Every structure is written in structure tokens, then in C-alpha cells.
Structure 1
Amino acid sequence: MTSSIPSFMQAIVLDEPGGPDVLHLGEVPTPQPRPGEVLVHVAASGVNRPDIMQRKGLYPPPPGASPLLGLEIAGTVIAHGAALEGISFPPIGSKVCALTNGGGYAEYCAVPAGQCLPWPKGYDAVKAAALPETFFTVWSNLFTTAGLKKGETVLIHGGAGGIGTAAIQIAKAMGAQPFATAGDTEKCALCEKLGAKAINYRTDDFVEKIKELTEGKGVDVILDIIGGPYFEKNLKTLAMDGRLVLIALQGGAKAENVSLTRIMTRRLHITGTALRPRSTAYKADVAQALRENIWPLLDSGELAPVMHATFPIAEAAEAHREMDTGAHSGKIVLVHS
């Protein structure tokens, strides 16, 4: 640790799982970058659904990860860990955004170098911090896992959230036709503006609506954050050889009255994934795919994160409260002073 980097730092901590009020500023040791890692002086941190789950005690960090909340950051590289063969470090002083393994709600965060990407052209820390967790998740699940191809169709549940707004834009940019569900007319309008055909799940049956919109074929891929309550309906919505990717279980983990016959006769593929426990090498591969395919579109302004609100880092509890309501559209970001 160099003399310019303090031994202790401010971070959002929680003494026990619970509601937003358990979050508060505290002093913790500043992390030291391990081999292959960089130390980032954090300027902004994204707030994501896994943070909410970890706060509640339902999503513990994987072995070796920081116990602090925060899976995406933007800031300045200030130190390198020891070199590792095949690992390229962003230069000291460079502005990066990064998918972290935890620890983003803090002044400093140690991150594997391969999980860092440059700020897109014209971006500030807030916009850059809104990218990594959602864009890594979307690319990993839609293209690496589901193999979404140009000309195919995809249904994105929760289309107005951080994941949803990114998924709509990325799917459309890659030549697929996105459909999205959302819970009110304003959120549906946002999905439509981003390029999706939107379905208000409160007023329409998305199974029937998709049948109507696809002339009975169904969609090739579904990206689902709801889980159990949607499982059977998702199966009815998939086209022949369709792929369902489960990335969250906001509605519950249990599904009832599931037709296994439908899975067999329509040759359906069902996968569940979680990005955080994946290997550093896997995440570095996703970062490289984003750099090649998506970052030029961010640089040009063709794609951009949808922003909902920012909060000072000291008001992390308020940011979590906002996310808990489910009323947000797009990203919530914590700003460091």
C-alpha cells in the first residue's frame, strides 16, 4: 500500500441483515489488490438487485469476495497488484468502470483487471457506473448462454429495470427483435422507445399477446427475472427449440403445474445462471466481447444506460428504499464525494 493510499476507508457496511436502515457509513481497511487486480478509487457505484438480496441475507458473497455490497463501479485506477501471465492492466490514472466481485460501495475497490472497461466517450462516472453489472449480465445470458442470433425474437421480463433497459437495447443492436413486459403504461412507453414491443402484464396476458405478435410462433429466447409464477407461462410462450434463461427469482423459487411434455415436444432448453460466482476468466471473456461489440455503440451514442436517480453514498439506505418500491425505471447510482 503506497503512502498516498490510506490504510482505512469509508464504506457502506451492515452489522446484520435487514431492511435499508441497516446500511450505514463505517470505516474499514482499504483493500490491497491481489495478483492480477487493480485498485480503483471509486467515484460512483451502481445499485443492483443482488445488493438488495445480500442486504437481506439471501445472497452471500462467494468465497474470497469482499463482504461489502456493490457489484459495479466507476473511478480511477490508482494501483496494480502483482503481474500475472496473460493479464493486461489498465494504466495507472485511467478511468475505468468495472464489474466487481463485491466491495463497490466504498472509497476504494480491488477488481480483477480483466473485468475493467474504459469509460465510453463523453461519459462521466455516474453513467459509466451504470454499465457493468447490467451489460455483463445481459451479454452473458442472451448471447453466451442463450445464443441469441440476428433475426430471432426475445422476451425480456422487467423491461423497464436496469437489466431490462440494457437487454432491449443490446438485443435490438445485435439484430434481434425484443419484446418486453412492464407494469404500467409509462414503463411500457419506455420499453417501446428503446425498441421493444411492450406488454403491460397487469392488463394483458403476455402468453396470448406474444402469440398474437408472433403469429402463433412464440419467441426464441426468454430472459426471466420472476421465476416460479412465470415458469409455466414462459414455457407456453417459447417457440420450437426456444431457450429460457432464469437470472433471478423475484416472484419465488417454486413452480407448480409444469408440463414436462411441452419441454420435450417443443425441444425447449431451460437454464439458470448467476454471474457473480463465475470465474475471473469467464468474466474477462465477457468484458472482451462487450469491448468489441457494445462499447463502440456506447461511444457513438447509439446505446446508453437509462438513468433513474442518483444518491450520495451516505444515503445508500434511501437508494435501497427506492429500489425496494419497484417504481424505478433504469439505473440507480450512488455518487461518492
Structure 2
Amino acid sequence: MTTRTMRAVVLDGPGGTDRLHVVDRPVPEPAPGWVRIKVEAFGLNRSELHTRLGLAEGVTFPRVLGIEAVGTIDADPAGVLRAGTQVATMMGGMGRTFDGGYAEYTVVPAAQVIPFHSDLSWEVLASLPETLQTAHGSLTVGLDLRPGQSLLIRGGTSALGLTAATLARERGATVLSTTRDPDRVRMLADHGVHHPLVDDGRVTDLAREIFPAGVDAALELVGTPTLPDTLKATAVHGTVCFTGMLSNQWTVPDFYPIDYLPRGVRLTAYSGEAGDLPADVLQRRLDDIAAGRTSPGPLHVYPLDDIRRAHDDLEHGRRVGKLVVRT
């Protein structure tokens, strides 16, 4: 019997983009409790960049990267999901403890699969799952954002920042969002951000010109270098949710809470799994995009053979919005 093969992106060890290789591999077989997905497209995430740079723990090599993917069910040994069902999958160890979505086929635990139905392009579909899960969880679990509140997004031109701005605006919040590039201010305004801000390292002053008492909530996507300033921009009894690390700096050295945290400002964090994205939230988002009620945001699509260029663009912040690879 001839073994079926697929194309996959393999990272052979930490380093530059030259460590990423498009190779032929056998199509993987799903174990009991797992399913096989025919991957149509996948989004790129900072998590995969961290893995490539050697910043992630518990990863063995060689490894097929990718913490998310969209496609159709190719095989379900349990017979629960019909072949051809559209699905999204994410997290759960994908691309770290087992091979992930940078391939024409991937196998994942059935519990981390979210079925959906949509006529949107696979490129648009691939831009949503992990970004939507993280934005939704950050605003609900992390910040408990309420209508009428103000939200500061630090790192606003990232795919996550843009999605969070859309969701926050839909929840009735006033959105302030930052960019380090003055040329991107107009893009933030066009995306619906109420107060685009140019980040010169002291966003506190800009935010408090608009809300003198401070913002009600803040979403930190840059990381620990900007976190102290974000905390100072937040009102007493306000909350800062630490979700992203665009700076690749994760930890606070010599953390002394009484000196570090402004009086009365709350600091929390968010990270989530596939189970933290309700299927109805994903489906509603897809339906809203299809109906033109909302936008998926800027999208940049690469073929699988251009994975090195895509990773290089991700690493150096050359693109605004979500980077997607079509298999």
C-alpha cells in the first residue's frame, strides 16, 4: 500500500527563518479520541515566533509549528464528526507538544475542534479562531468590560488589537488604541477606534488628557516594557489585563508589588484554549462578516512555500493585521 504524503513546514531547531523547511511527510493517523483535519489555511501567531526563536518551553524538535488551523474533517475514528465538516482548531499543545497546523493535514484531540458553517474564503476563516478567542476572553474573563466604559489597547495595530477594538466597540465601550507609527493612526480611526494614540512610551499622559481620572480598563499586548505606563493610565479600581507580548519580553525582574502597582489598580492576565471560544461566538462573528456588519480587519495571505517570508514579516512587524498561509 502506498503511503499518503503531505507537505508540511518543519522547524528543525530554534533560530532564524532558515530553520523552517517545507518537506514531504506521511499523512498522520488519528489516535482514539483524535481527529484528522485537512488544513485549508492557518493563521500565524506570536506564539510560533517565540517557539522559532527558542523562547518557548517544553518543545522538542523537529516540530511542525502552528497553534491553529481551519479546514475540514478528513477522519474521525469515533464517527462523531462527519467527513467534510468545516472546523477550527487551536491550542492544546499544537505546534509544541505535538505537530500543529503548518501542514496540509493535522491530527488534534477531538475536544479542541469547533465546527462551524460559512461560505467565507478559507483565508478569512483562518484569520479568526485564535485571535477571536483571545480577544473575546480578554474582554470578558480578563476585564469584564461593560457598556459605557473606556478601554485602552496597548499594541492596537496587531491582529489581536484590531479584533479587540471591534469587540469592545460592539460592547458599547469607548476605545483608545496605540501605535508607534504615526502613519498608522488613520488606519486605526478607519477601523473604528475612537481615540488613536501615537505611542512614544508615555501613553499615560495622552490617555489622561481624554480621561483625566484614567481609563476603566486596559489591554496590554506589548508586554512588560510598557506595562508600568499602562498601569499608570488606568483609573483607581480599573483593571489591566496582560494578554500579549509583542515585545517578546515576558517577565518583570525584581517585582515588588507595592512599588510596581499604582494604588487601587488591578492587574490580571488572560490566556485561553479552544474551549474558551464558544461555538456560537465564532459562528456569530462569521455571520456578521459575511453580512457586512463587521470587518475581519487587514489580511495578508502567503502560499506555503513563502513561510519564511511570512515569518520574517511577522518578526519585524512589517504588516498590519493578521498573516495567513494558504495550504
**TM-score tier after normalising by the smaller chain length:** 0.7 to 0.9
2:82 paired with 1:91: yes
Deviation at 1:258, TM superposition (A): 6.9
Unaligned stretches of 5+ in structure 2? none
2:307 paired with 1:309: no
1:235-260 C-alpha deviation (Å, 9 max, x unpaired)? 11111211111123343233679772
Aligned residues: 317
Alpha carbons of structure 1 residues 288 and 308: separation in structure 2 relative to 1, 3 Å: closer
Unaligned stretches of 5+ in structure 1? 84-88
Deviation at 1:262, TM superposition (A): 7.7
| Aligned partner (choices 48, 67, 74) of residue 71 of structure 1 | 67
Alpha carbons of structure 1 residues 167 and 264: separation in structure 2 relative to 1, 3 Å: closer
Alpha carbons of structure 1 residues 311 and 293: separation in structure 2 relative to 1, 3 Å: closer
Name the SS of the counterpart of 2:28 in structure 1: coil
TM-score w.r.t. the length of structure 2 is 0.86
Q: Are the equivalent residues in 2 in contact too, given 1:232–1:259 (CA < 8 A)? A: no
2:169 paired with 1:178: no
1:195-243 C-alpha deviation (Å, 9 max, x unpaired)? 11210113x83111111112x1211221112222212211111112111
Q: Are the equivalent residues in 2 in contact too, given 1:74–1:95 (CA < 8 A)? A: yes
2: CA distance between counterparts of 1:314 and 1:257?
A: 44
1:86 alignment partner in structure 2: none
Q: Are the equivalent residues in 1 in contact too, given 2:147–2:171 (CA < 8 A)? A: yes
2:17 paired with 1:20: yes
1:36-79 C-alpha deviation (Å, 9 max, x unpaired)? 4432111111111111111111124679xx94211222222111
2:76 paired with 1:80: yes
Q: Which amino acid aligns with 1:20?
A: T
Name the SS of the counterpart of 1:58 in structure 2: coil
1: CA distance between counterparts of 2:24 and 2:170?
A: 43
Q: Are the equivalent residues in 2 in contact too, given 1:153–1:178 (CA < 8 A)? A: yes
Name the SS of the counterpart of 2:151 in structure 1: strand
2:325 alignment partner in structure 1: 334
Matches within 5 A, 1:133-282: 133-196=130-193, 197-202=195-200, 205-214=202-211, 216-251=212-247, 252=249, 253-254=251-252, 260=258, 263=261, 265-266=263-264, 268-275=265-272, 278=273
State which drifts further: 320-329 or 243-252: 243-252
Alpha carbons of structure 1 residues 206 and 90: separation in structure 2 relative to 1, 3 Å: farther
Q: Which amino acid aligns with 1:52?
A: L
1: CA distance between counterparts of 2:68 and 2:149?
A: 30
Root-mean-square deviation over aligned CA pairs: 2.7
| Aligned partner (choices 6, 11, 18) of residue 9 of structure 1 | 6
Name the SS of the counterpart of 1:234 in structure 2: helix
Deviation at 1:115, TM superposition (A): 4.0
TM-score w.r.t. the length of structure 1 is 0.84
Name the SS of the counterpart of 1:333 in structure 2: strand
Name the SS of the counterpart of 1:42 in structure 2: strand
Q: Are the equivalent residues in 2 in contact too, given 1:47–1:332 (CA < 8 A)? A: yes
Name the SS of the counterpart of 2:218 in structure 1: strand
State which drifts further: 122-131 or 93-102: 93-102
Q: Which amino acid aligns with 1:235?
A: L
Alpha carbons of structure 1 residues 153 and 32: separation in structure 2 relative to 1, 3 Å: farther
Q: Are the equivalent residues in 1 in contact too, given 2:216–2:234 (CA < 8 A)? A: yes
1:73-104 C-alpha deviation (Å, 9 max, x unpaired)? 22221111437xxxxx5432122333243311
Q: Which amino acid aligns with 2:318?
A: A
Q: Are the equivalent residues in 2 in contact too, given 1:32–1:110 (CA < 8 A)? A: yes
Q: Are the equivalent residues in 2 in contact too, given 1:73–1:97 (CA < 8 A)? A: yes
